[in-house]
Chains A and B, each alone.
Chain A
Amino acid sequence: DSGVTQTPKHLITATGQRVTLRCSPRSGDLSVYWYQQSLDQGLQFLIHYYNGEERAKGNILERFSAQQFPDLHSELNLSSLELGDSALYFCASSARAGVNTEAFFGQGTRLTVV
């Protein structure tokens, strides 16, 4: 158990819809990273939040957005969903933004768009 909790574990929705994925980081971790893993692909970095502030963006579509709340949990919002958005979405947390250290991953949310 990494201490990172993601909900829901599975999500099936129709094209055009909007979903919200939730992540609770490890206790004390201020950084939350979101990653997307599509079929046969490595994990692709989407976005990083540190203590409520956006720190970096990767290959995140404009239809996607995220935020980190005062209690440090984070949500990834995916809208106008397309079939190609079907993927595993992982959240990871780490202790501080200014230190290069390992990140701890949640179990992921498997999103299926039909």
Chain B
Amino acid sequence: DQQVKQNSPSLSVQEGRISILNCDYTNSMFDYFLWYKKYPAEGPTFLISISSIKDKNEDGRFTVFLNKSAKHLSLHIVPSQPGDSAVYFCAASTKYSGAGSYQLTFGKGTKLSVIP
């Protein structure tokens, strides 16, 4: 049972245009959502996050939108640059019982290619 789904394995975008990466989740207990970027042979790098009390968070070229009723979030990258080419993972967390453990549940990732 995949609780976090990224239905597009890959996405190609022209440099300068907008990249939109999508993510759906099924667990209504998730209350914190994150996007990670991963280059080959490196670990995931935190990009941006959003709490469930918000519907938008912006950081430079990156904006994450959260639609709780649809259990959907998206990452917008504007303008897209060749250096943005990487695998993007959507992740979600919720407090694990009373233990204060916030392990992340990841999607399978979307490979973004930004074409010069």
Contact = CB atoms under 8 A, between A and B. Distances in A.
Interface of A: 2, 4, 6, 33, 35, 40-45, 48, 50, 55-56, 58, 90, 92, 94, 96-108
Contacts of B103: 33, 45, 48, 56, 58
Interface residues of B, number: 30
Given A42-B89, A42-B109, A97 B43 contact: no
B108 A2 contact: no
B73 interface: no
A107 B45 CA distance: 10
Interface in B18-59: 31-32, 34, 36, 41-46, 49, 51
Contact of A42 (B31, B96, B100, B107): B107
Contacts of A108: 42-43
Contact of B101 (A40, A50, A104): A50
A43 B106 contact: yes
A105 B87 CA distance: 15
Contacts of B104: 33, 35, 43, 45, 92, 103
Contacts of B101: 48, 50, 55-56, 97
B114 interface: no
B93 A100 contact: yes
A43 B89 contact: yes
Nearest to A88: B43
B63 interface: no
